[in-house]
A and B are shown apart, each in its own frame.
Chain A
């Protein structure tokens, strides 16, 4: 068959669908959006995480919520025995959020590249946008992942 026009696009699409079918996450689609909304409590504050006197929503906690949205959003679309592991976080913390404000985190699934998932995640408090993040996760087979980790642990002095 002779394919004319945007040949490369067609080829990539076919491969991506085929690989999704093979890996068993057919229902996952680029463009999907996942959300969570939650109040910032004392537990998320910087001074609880070693930055004394800075009583704001701490950067690692924002990252944690961002990863949570992406992870939980994708999980229902995976097969039994699959999960995702975070590989890349590029996060800009734009504004400080005091305790008591509600924060909404929205994750957009931008790209599915085989087992690699690319997200653009934004966080807003009640006043303004507070953070944005490029995030990547990998779909992994948990059994194989456990084997790999066990092997690494076995080769070390600890435990």
Chain B
């Protein structure tokens, strides 16, 4: 595993109507929705990990925190940066930060566990059958 502490990865998204709180059902809030920020946090962290994991391994999210600091209107671009803060066996902890064209809009953390995809699918099939 070539993952190393301090590694960073950035994803960029344009805020369209489909990622607003209004679109998710919170009427009148035509701004970037918190669950979407959570999704983008996870995307940045997961991709950083995936780029350095061996085939057959993946990560699943175990914990995610987000402080949503400011609203982002439709039309702006948001950059989300993940930094690998800690590695502890199969456990990875990422720091996350999101900025729009104007300011920092969110910060948080994502803890992910490295899993063998085959084993993960096996356990899941067992649960589905129970």
Contacts and interface: CB of A to CB of B under 8 A. Distances in A.
A60 B27 CA distance: 20
B75 A158 contact: yes
Contacts of A83: 26-29
B62 to A, nearest CB: 6
Contact of A127 (B30, B102, B130): B130
Given A53-B58, A59-B42, A72 B102 contact: no
A85 B27 CA distance: 11
Contacts of B53: none
Using C-beta atoms within 8 Å of the partner chain, give the interface range for chain B: 35 or more
Interface size class of A (residues with CB under 8 A): 35 or more
Nearest to A72: B25
B69 to A, nearest CB: 8
B101 A92 contact: no
A105 B47 CA distance: 29
A79 B129 CA distance: 47
Interface of B: 21, 24-31, 33-36, 38-39, 42-43, 46-47, 58, 60-68, 70-77, 101-102, 108, 117, 120-121, 123-125, 127-128, 130
